[in-house]
Chains A and B, each alone.
Chain A
Amino acid sequence: MSGTPIANEIRRLRFEHGQMTQQALADACRVTRQTILALEAGRYAPSLELAFRIARAFGVGVEDVFRWEGT
């Protein structure tokens, strides 16, 4: 569950959206706060559905939140 090649901008986007809390984002995406924490730390690669939910919560596209950093 660690070392995922998918990087994300969730933490930055949260702060750009009125310092949205992890719990608020978790509630919007219907996941636990621990999952948001693991995502931000790069320890978990989300499903496609969750990736779209997160992007939708910020009102941006999936590619604005996630990017591939693997080889």
Chain B
Amino acid sequence: MGREIVGGVARGWLAPAALALVAALGLVLLVLGLREAAAQLVFGGVMLAVIAVAGVLQHLAERPGSEGEAPSLLEKASWQGVGVGLAAIMVLGGLSLGSTQGRFSGWLVFAAYVLIVVLHPLLRRRFVEANLRHCDIAEDERDRALRGHGDRTAKRVLELALVAIAVAWVALPGVFALPAQPVRVASLLLLPVQLANVVGEARVAWLYWRDRQ
């Protein structure tokens, strides 16, 4: 009993401490980037700050609702999707800004990203099946309806983001001059996908949260 309480207190402190660390790291990167005029450092710093803010929002949203209802596993999974998507945006954005300077590590990171995207449907199915072992119903018609809302939002965001990149590419050819490394172009084109995923997952998480209030 005592060990459980100590463990709970430790876990209670761990998340805020980790978020504070991420925010502090982001601030350091941002200052360094601004001082050295390094776009990839500024971008990384901003993204770490965004990840920290998202973490705080998740922490607040996962408190029990008005009837004491705790978030479901799929609501938590949506928040995890937001976090993973933001991390992917940070990686892809860094690659597109040339953070790896065309080194082999850039290809490795890109290959890892491709692998995760390809395996995502399988990983999600495993997640749902793993939850089925603990409860009879892991995902029902309401979960699928909420997921549908998120998917429609994500599709719209993807369309708008791709159009925005295309317009910027045409209107600002100097800024959007094709970089020499193909991995940078590919990363830039994949950014809208992750942005759409993050917005879609955030909408699903918000709908779950609203239903609990």
Contacts and interface: CB of A to CB of B under 8 A. Distances in A.
Q: Size band of the B side of the interface?
A: 10 to 19
Contacts of A46: 141
Given A1-B146, A1-B149, A37-B69, A31 B211 contact: no
Contacts of B142: 31-32, 34-35, 38, 44
Interface string B174-213: 0000000000000000000000000000000001101110
Interface of B: 67, 69, 72, 135-137, 140-143, 145-146, 149, 207-208, 210-212
B140 A31 contact: yes
Contacts of A44: 142, 145, 211
Contacts of A30: 136-137, 140
Interface in A9-24: none
Given A1-B146, A1-B149, A43-B211, A31 B141 contact: yes
Residue in B135, B136, B149, B211 with the greatest tally of chain A CB atoms within 10 Å: B211
A49 B211 CA distance: 21
A1 B207 contact: yes
A2 interface: yes
B136 A27 contact: yes
B136 A34 contact: no
Contact of A32 (B67, B143, B145, B212): B143
Contacts of B141: 31, 35, 46-47, 49-50
B57 to A, nearest CB: 20
Contacts of B207: 1
A38 B209 CA distance: 11
Closest 10 CB pairs of A and B: A31-B140, A35-B142, A38-B211, A34-B72, A43-B211, A32-B137, A32-B140, A47-B141, A44-B142, A35-B140
Interface string A36-71: 011001011011011000000000000000000000
A26 interface: yes
B137 A31 contact: yes
A26 B67 CA distance: 17
A34 B210 contact: no
12 contacts: A31-B142, A32-B135, A32-B143, A35-B140, A35-B141, A35-B143, A37-B67, A37-B211, A38-B211, A43-B210, A44-B142, A47-B141
A43 B67 CA distance: 14
Contacts of B149: 1
A30 B136 CA distance: 8
